Amino acid sequence: MQNDTAFIRELAGLAPIIPVLVVEDVAHAVPLAEALVRGGLPVLEVTLRTDAALDVIAAMATVEGARVGAGTLVTAQDVKASMEAGSTFGVTPGSPAALIDTCLEAGLPLLPGAATATEAMTLQARGFEVLKFFPAEAAGGIKTLKGLGGPLAGISFCPTGGVSAQNAADYLALPNVVCAGGSWIAPLDLVNAENWTEIEARARAAAALPRG
Ligand SMILES: O=C(O)C(=O)C[C@H](O)[C@H](O)COP(=O)(O)O
């Protein structure tokens, strides 16, 4: 099975920011997804970090305009379960070969994680052109992305991990950054407080960020 770069490029092009979501209560799934879509962020990464995550994916997948994927894919079981729940793409924090094999065999469009030149080159050799740069700030942030951009100009990144309202525009200005991911749009405290108004406002501000 070939990886689906065109699909991932399309998703990455839909909005400058992919909200990374940690949702504990499935009752929050639909209003949260609706607030994010209304705010202009249709591509949603639901982390498999809560017991509710698979049910959250299934519920969000019913929201018109939402493009729902699963994050924190670490095991083959995560890949299978997230696809059964209705996720249409996957995101991995890192890219061990066996996990990448599983995603390719399953036909799951993937934003695979990489933090070094070797990891990025290994993924590029398998046909991946859009990678999650994770954990972005801890792995050197903008300086590292600028450094990778010289020799690895064919690779685009979605930096995630430490990206914030304060630094997102600087990341997005880089030529090898297509979009960025982050939890600041819908942090757990706002979700648990059901503050959809504030989440929509944060989404709207993020959706308006210019890309370089
Ligand atoms: O669970 C995963 O695999 C992830 O997707 C990790 C997230 O990308 C980061 O935790 C988001 O980082 P912050 O925006 O700094 O909160």
Domain boundaries, the chain: 5-207
Average pLDDT, the chain: 96
- DSSP bridge pairs for 47: 71
When pLDDT is averaged across residues 159-171 and rounded to a whole number, the result is 98
Arithmetic mean of pLDDT, 52-69: 98
Nearest-atom index, ligand 1, CA of 22: 1
Here the tokens at position 92 are 């991995």
CA distance 101 to 211: 32
- pLDDT mean over 128-135: 97
- Summarize the confidence of residues 13-38 as an average pLDDT: 98
CATH architecture for residues 5-207: Alpha-Beta Barrel (3.20)
Residue 129 a catalytic site member: no
What is the CA 177 to chain-centroid distance, rounded? 13
What's the pLDDT band for 3 if we cut at 50, 70, 90?
low
* Tens-digit pLDDT profile for residues 180-193: 999 999 999 999 99
- Tell which one of 17, 18, 20, 56 to mutate to probe ligand 1, the residue whose CB is within 8 A of the most ligand atoms: 20
Distance CA 135, CA 178 (A): 16
